[in-house]
């Protein structure tokens, strides 16, 4: 059976937003992996630094949250 009108339709913009947020978090995780592997040799200050790194991204995360980009509409 043939499909009605072209199959390869435009997709919802929401998927794009999720893709962007995913990309940011994935890169963050990739940056944190070396930190986690070398954890035994690091000082306490490194943990504080990692926390600051996460908190900076958390700012963007909260912004996205407040803008309702995480809510499926």
Partner 1 sequence: MKILEFLSNPIIGIEQWIMQLLENWGVTPEWQTFLVYLIGAAILGTGALLITLILIWAERKIIGRLQDRLGPNRIGPWGIFQPVADMLKIFIKEHIIPDGVDPIPYHLAPIISVASVLLLWSVVPFSDSVRGSDLNVALLFILGVGGLGELGVILAGWGSNNKYSMLSAFRASAQMISYEIPMAIVLLATVILSGSMSMGDIVKSQNIAYIFFLPLGAFIFFVASIAENGRAPFDLAEAESELVAGFNMEYSGLKFGMFYVADFLRAFTSAVIFSSIFLGGWRGPGAEQIPILGFVYLLIKSVIVWFLGVWIRGSLPRFRVDQMMAITWKFLTPLALALFIAVAFVMKLLENTNQWLQVLILLVINVALFFVGFAIIKKFEKEKERKIVSSKKRVLAQPTNPFTQSETGG
Chain positions contacting partner 1, by CB under 8 A? 2-3, 7-9, 11-12, 14-15, 18-19, 21-22, 25-26, 29, 32-33, 36-37, 39-40, 42, 44, 47, 50-51, 54, 58, 61, 65, 70-73
**Residue 42 · residue 35 · CB < 8 Å:** yes
Q: How many CB atoms lie under 10 A from the CB of residue 17?
A: 14
Pinpoint the alpha helices (H) of 5-73.
13-37, 44-66
């Amino acid at each position: 059976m043939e499909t009605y009108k072209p199959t390869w339709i435009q997709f919802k913009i929401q998927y794009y937003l999720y893709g962007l947020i995913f990309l940011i978090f994935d890169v963050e995780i990739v940056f944190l992996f070396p930190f986690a592997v070398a954890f035994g040799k690091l000082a306490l200050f490194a943990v504080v630094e990692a926390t600051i790194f996460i908190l900076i991204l958390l700012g963007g995360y909260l912004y996205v949250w407040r803008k309702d980009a995480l809510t499926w509409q």
